[in-house]
Amino acid sequence: MADQTLARYVNERGVLTLLRVHGPSSRADMARQLSLTPATVTRLVTEMIERGLVREEPRGAAREGREPGRPAVGVALAPDGAYFLGVEIGVGVLRFALLDLAAKVTLTSERIIPRTTPPEAIAVMIGEELAARAADPRFRGRIRSVGVTVPGLVTLDGYVVHLPILGWKELNLKALLAAAVPLPAIVENNATAAAFGAVYTQPELPSDCTIFLKLGTGLGGAAIINGRLLRGGSGTAGEFGHVRIADEGPRCSCGQVGCLETFVNLAALASLWSGRDHSGESEATMLPATVAAAAEAGNPGAVIAIDHLAERLGRGVVSLVNIFNPTMIVLGGVMRPVIERMIPVFEAVVAAGIVPGMRMPDIRLSALGLHECAIGAATIAHHRAFDLSNFDLAVRDT
């Protein structure tokens, strides 16, 4: 019995992943793709229709009609069959995103909070947001789990090890959430979640090796190999901001000097642009757009500042390309307006610095925008609950 239950569990997730990655498919196509018998697929689909997870498409909506003379009946995900709440705990802000079963963003919101809000109060606020969503008739009883991100080191068991920007350390955030949120909750590093979200929501892109970098107050990152996050031994891999690119420089939050993130972050941009070490919080939020607009207008100081950041980022990323040989590098974070203008110099520095013969990765901007961490957190919850993350399906078949 146990084996039968496990097989059904795996097959069901195979169906859900296939429909999410490929779109509507006929039962016959699903049986071929998943190496299952048509009878097994029919039984699975019937049960999943009853549970509201998939539904039949109108006639002819399947990708290919394989049965001559008979219109194909397609099966598609029922996007409203399940929802996942993603939460970004930021500095002075909580951002929320609700994802449906098709991993599409249904809604986003944010709540400004005092910077010093204690973690217990934040857990309660997340519970309040969930309660508000769960009271909506569209989502009632269908929100399955919650993903929460923090801008700091998180271990595999949801323990926040080091979060200097909020002054949290050795905090069992997962336990706090368990007390305040009546659903399974996952805790993740913000850049790791944003990276996973960038790949997971675009299954049409290759995912054999993607490096994600998030540029903002700090510089976070993650590597996704064959559709899976590279987590390392205890879950804290991907601290790319601490690649050493110099012997001297500002003291990093990790205690060292010369870390990439001390040269490529909002404070560095402020310093290059205005000559000041730090800018006010509201000013910092606007800063990337301000500098990008100045560069667009031909301001030489803005162009020099952006080129300088691009050169430093390129220097760090040379090491990442040499180590990982990525197919793609995705850049995200609040520095986006500036990042767009950094790409030509950044690309040139990387191309000139990597080992000869190493393939130059494609460079692109994350498509998720301001809520990328919250969306990413929700995709991780989605993946844990409903997915095999079998990205090979997408690569093999397209």
Site residues (vs Zn ion, CB under 5 A):
242, 252, 254, 256, 259
Q: Which is nearer to Zn ion, 246 or 385 (CB)?
A: 246
- Tell me how far apart the alpha carbons of residues 244 and 146 are, in angstroms, rounded to a whole number: 35
Q: Which is nearer to Zn ion, 256 or 398 (CB)?
A: 256
- Tell me how far apart the alpha carbons of residues 214 and 42 are, in angstroms, rounded to a whole number: 43
Kindly state the smallest distance separating residue 230's Cβ from Zn ion, in Å.
19
Measured at the CA of 229, the angle between CA 224 and CA 232, to 5 degrees, comes to 115
Burial 129-163 (b: 16+ CB within 10 A, else e): bbeebbeeeebeebbbbbbbbbbbbbbeebbbeeb
Kindly state the smallest distance separating residue 254's Cβ from Zn ion, in Å.
3
- Tell me how far apart the alpha carbons of residues 249 and 25 are, in angstroms, rounded to a whole number: 55
Kindly state the smallest distance separating residue 358's Cβ from Zn ion, in Å.
25
Q: Which is nearer to Zn ion, 252 or 393 (CB)?
A: 252
Q: Which of 216, 345, 240, 346 is nearest to 288 (CA)?
A: 216
How distant, in Å, are the alpha carbons of 27, 202, 277, 305 from that of 266?
51, 28, 10, 12
Pairing of strands 143-150, 160-163: unpaired
Q: Which of 187, 232, 240 is nearest to 215 (CA)?
A: 240
Kindly state the smallest distance separating residue 162's Cβ from Zn ion, in Å.
11
- Please check whether residue 143 is in contact with residue 136, taking contact to mean a CB–CB distance below 8 angstroms: no
Q: Which is nearer to Zn ion, 184 or 258 (CB)?
A: 258
Q: Which is nearer to Zn ion, 234 or 256 (CB)?
A: 256
Q: Which is nearer to Zn ion, 233 or 255 (CB)?
A: 255
Amino acid in position 111:
R
Q: Which is nearer to Zn ion, 180 or 254 (CB)?
A: 254
- Tell me how far apart the alpha carbons of residues 318 and 37 are, in angstroms, rounded to a whole number: 48
Q: Which of 314, 325, 329, 319 is nearest to 358 (CA)?
A: 325
Q: Which is nearer to Zn ion, 165 or 370 (CB)?
A: 165
Kindly state the smallest distance separating residue 116's Cβ from Zn ion, in Å.
24
Kindly state the smallest distance separating residue 289's Cβ from Zn ion, in Å.
27
Kindly state the smallest distance separating residue 316's Cβ from Zn ion, in Å.
11
- Please check whether residue 95 is in contact with residue 88, taking contact to mean a CB–CB distance below 8 angstroms: yes
Kindly state the smallest distance separating residue 260's Cβ from Zn ion, in Å.
8
